[in-house]
Structure 1
C-alpha cells in the first residue's frame, strides 16, 4: 500500500459528479504518407498489444475507494487495457468543431475509481487527412506539467522511427525538452531529507509572516480574497465545453521584446484583453480588475530522468496576478501584469518547495469550502480565473511516422471557478486550451476570436 501525499489526496477528496478532477490533452496527428483507410483502426489495435504497463498506470485508489482510497494507492494486477484504450469516430464532416464537441463530452465524465485513473481515446474521421488522440488522467496521479512531459517524451523527433510506444508503456526520453541525461548519483540520504523537512516546517511561520509583510507594507503581491465577484465565480456543473487554438510564438515574443516583458506576460495580457471584452459584451465587467491564479511548477528544470518518482504526484506553487481589466489601454495592462508577476515571484524567493506549496494553498481554501452547498454564493473569490503556462517540446514530434500537428491542454474548472485557461508551447506555436463549465460560461468559443483581437491590439500599441 502506498500512502498519498496530502497534495495528491485533496484532488480525490474534492471530486464529485459536478467536479471532475482530471487533466487531459488533445493531440492532432497528420496521417503518414501512404496510410490507408484502416490506418487508425490498426493504430488502435497495436496499442492494445502493448500489455507491458508501467506501475504509475496500474495505480488505483485502495478499497473502499471513497474511504481509504482517498489516502492510499494499490496496484491493479489485472488491468483491462481495452477499457482504458478506446477507439471513437467523428460524425461527418469530421471538422474541428465536431472534434471539440466530442472532446468536451469525454472530458466531462468521471474516471472509474475502481480502476487505474486514466483513459486514452483514439479518434478517427477527422477531415484533412488527420486523426486525433485524447488522453485524461486524474490530477491525484499527475499534475499538468508531468502529464505533458510523459506524453511528449514517448514520441520521437525522427519521422522514420517506428518504435514509439504509448505513454503507459514508454521508451522514455528527455531530450525532446532540450535536456540531457545525467549520470549523477540519484540516491537520497534519508537523514538529510528528514532534517530538511523539519527545517522547512519550522520555517513556515517566518515564510508566512514574510508574505503578509511584503504584501501589505510594500504591496509587492496581489492578496487573496481581493478579487471582484464575476460570472466565472459561480456554482458549476460537471458538463464541460472545450475550445482550442494556437498562435505563433514569434508574435508574442515580438510584443514582449518591445515592452521589456516576458512571453508569459504577453500571454497573460492576451487573456486579460480577451476576458475584458468578453465581459464587456455581456455587460458583466466589474470595476475592479480581475485576478488570475497562475500556477508555477516547482519541479526541477533539468530532471535527471523521467522516472515514476519524478513524474508522479503534484509539485505546484501559485502566484496571484492583477490582470488590469479595468484599464482600457493594452500597453498599460501589459505593464501592470509584468509588475504583478515580478513582485509575486519575489515574495517566494529563498523559500523551499514545501513552504511555497503550503503558502500557495491559502488562495485555494475557497475551492475546498466551495464544495459545501451554497458556500460559493456567499464567500468571496480568492481569484477569478486560473491561467497556466506549461512548457512543451521545442521540436516537431512523430508517433510512428504520424506528425503531431498540435497539442492542446484540458484542465479543471472548480466550484466557483468556471473557466480554466491552460497554454503550452509546441515548436513555434503557443497552444491555448480553454476549459469551461458548459452552463456557466456561454459562447466559450468566442474567447478564441477575442484572444486574437487582444494580441492584435498589443501589437498595434507596442510594435
Structure 2
C-alpha cells in the first residue's frame, strides 16, 4: 500500500451519497467516412481488447470499509474491464436532450470504492449518427487538468491513424516512485521532505500577511468569506443536471482584442452576465457582487511529471454582478484577477496550495446540520477553464466534435461551470443540483446573450 497525499484523501473524506466527488467529461465523436451502423459496437469492442492497464487506472482505496481507505492506495491486480467500460443506448429520438438526461443520471451516482475509481460509458443512438463517450473518475485520482491530458494522449491529429490506444492503456512517462509506503519509509527521504515542508510552513505566516496587506492596499483583492448569500449556496441533494454548449474561440478572441482583457477574463465576464441574468429571472440577485473561486493549475510550478493526483490552487474573483454595464463588469473582473494573480505569484507552490485549502476550508464543515444554510459562503460559484487540445483530434478516425467537462456540485455550492478548449471552440459544461438550480439550461442561453452583449459593446459582433 502507498500513503495517499492529503490533497487526494480530502476528496474521499468529503464524499457522501449526496455529494459525489468525481469529475467527468462528455465527448462527442463523428464516425469516420465509410463507418457502418455498428460503429459504436466496434468502438466498444476495440476498447475491450486493450487489456494492458496503466497502474494509475488500477488504483483503489486501500481498505474501503475502514478509515485507512481514505489514507492509502492499493493496486487492483485483476481489473474487470467489463465493469468499468459499458455500452449504452439512448431512447428515441436520440436527441442531445436525451443524451444530457442520461449523462446527468450517470454523473449523480457514486463510484464503487472496492474497485478502481473510474468508469467509461460508450453511448450510441444519437439521431445524427455520432457516438458519445461519458467518462468519470474520482477527484482523488485525477484533477481536471490531468483528466483532460489523459484523454488527449489517447487521441491523434491524424484522421488516418488507426492505432490510438485506450486512455487507460497509455505508456505514460510517469515517475515510478509511488510515494511513501506504509511498509517501509525511507528515513532520509522522510527527513528531507520534512525539512522542506517545515521551511514552507515557516513562510506561510508571512505569505498570509502579504495577502492581508494586499487586501488593505488594493480595493479589488477579494478575501474569503466576503461573498453574499445566494440561492446557489445552500444544502443540496444527490441528483444532478447537466447542460453543455460550445462557443467559437474567434468570438471571444475578438472581445479580448478590443478590450485588452485576457481570454479567461472574457470567459468570466460571460459567466458573470449569465449568472446575473439567471438570478434576476428568479428574483434572487443580491446587491453585493458574486464571488467566483477560479482554480489555477500548479503543475508547471511544481514540475510534477506524473499524470495522477491533484496540483490545483485557486484565486477568488469579484464577478461584478451588481453592475448593469457589461464592460464595467469586465473591468472589475480584470482588476480582481490581476491583483489575485499578482499575490499568488509571490508565493511558493506549497504556500499557494495551503492558502487555497484555507479558502475552501469552511466547506469542510458543510456536513454539520444547518451550517451551510446559516453561514456566509466562502465564495458563490466555481468557474474553471481547463486547457484542452487546440487542434482537431481523432480517435481511430472518429473526429472529436466536443469535449464537455463535468465537475462537482456540493453542499454550499449547488452550481459549477467548467469549460475546455477544443480546436476552434470553447466547450462549456454546467453542472447543478437538480432541485436547487431549476431550469439549468437557461444559463446556456444567458451565456450566449452575454457574449452577444459584449460583442455589441465593443463593436465586435457579426
TM-score (norm. length: structure 1):
0.93
**Aligned 8 A contact 1:29 1:130 in 2:** yes
**Aligned 8 A contact 2:54 2:171 in 1:** no
User: Residue 303 of structure 1: CA displacement?
Assistant: 6.5
User: How many Å separate the matches in 1 of 2:379 and 2:256?
Assistant: 25
User: How many Å separate the matches in 1 of 2:423 and 2:196?
Assistant: 38
**Aligned 8 A contact 1:60 1:74 in 2:** yes
User: How many Å separate the matches in 1 of 2:53 and 2:151?
Assistant: 14
Return 5+ residue gaps in structure 1 as ranges: 175-188
User: How many Å separate the matches in 2 of 1:399 and 1:437?
Assistant: 32
> 1:434 — aligned with what?
430
**Runs of at least 4 residues off by over 4 Å:** 171-174, 189-195, 301-304
> 1:233 — aligned with what?
233
1:317 equivalent among 313, 323, 328: 313
User: Residue 301 of structure 1: CA displacement?
Assistant: 7.7
Q: Does 1:247 align with 2:243?
A: no
> 44-53 or 316-325: which moved more?
44-53
Secondary structure at the counterpart of residue 310 of structure 1: coil
Structure 1 residues 13, 302: closer, same or farther in 2, change over 3 A? closer
Q: Does 1:142 align with 2:142?
A: yes
2:448 equivalent among 446, 452, 457: 452
> 55-64 or 115-124: which moved more?
55-64
User: Residue 218 of structure 1: CA displacement?
Assistant: 2.9
User: Residue 268 of structure 1: CA displacement?
Assistant: 0.2
User: How many Å separate the matches in 2 of 1:301 and 1:123?
Assistant: 38
User: How many Å separate the matches in 2 of 1:274 and 1:338?
Assistant: 17
User: How many Å separate the matches in 2 of 1:362 and 1:195?
Assistant: 22
**Aligned 8 A contact 1:118 1:138 in 2:** yes
> 1:185 — aligned with what?
none
User: Residue 217 of structure 1: CA displacement?
Assistant: 3.4
User: Residue 190 of structure 1: CA displacement?
Assistant: 8.4
Residue-pair matches, total: 446
> 1:413 — aligned with what?
409
User: How many Å separate the matches in 2 of 1:269 and 1:60?
Assistant: 39
> 1:181 — aligned with what?
none
Correspondences of 1:352-363 after superposition (within 5 Å) = 352-363=348-359
Return 5+ residue gaps in structure 2 as ranges: 175-188
User: Residue 353 of structure 1: CA displacement?
Assistant: 1.2
Correspondences of 1:42-441 after superposition (within 5 Å) = 42-170=42-170, 172=172, 195-300=195-300, 310-441=306-437
TM-score (norm. length: structure 2):
0.93
User: Residue 256 of structure 1: CA displacement?
Assistant: 1.0
> 63-72 or 141-150: which moved more?
63-72
**Aligned 8 A contact 1:164 1:171 in 2:** no
> 2:18 — aligned with what?
18
Structure 1 residues 173, 2: closer, same or farther in 2, change over 3 A? closer
**Aligned 8 A contact 2:62 2:68 in 1:** yes
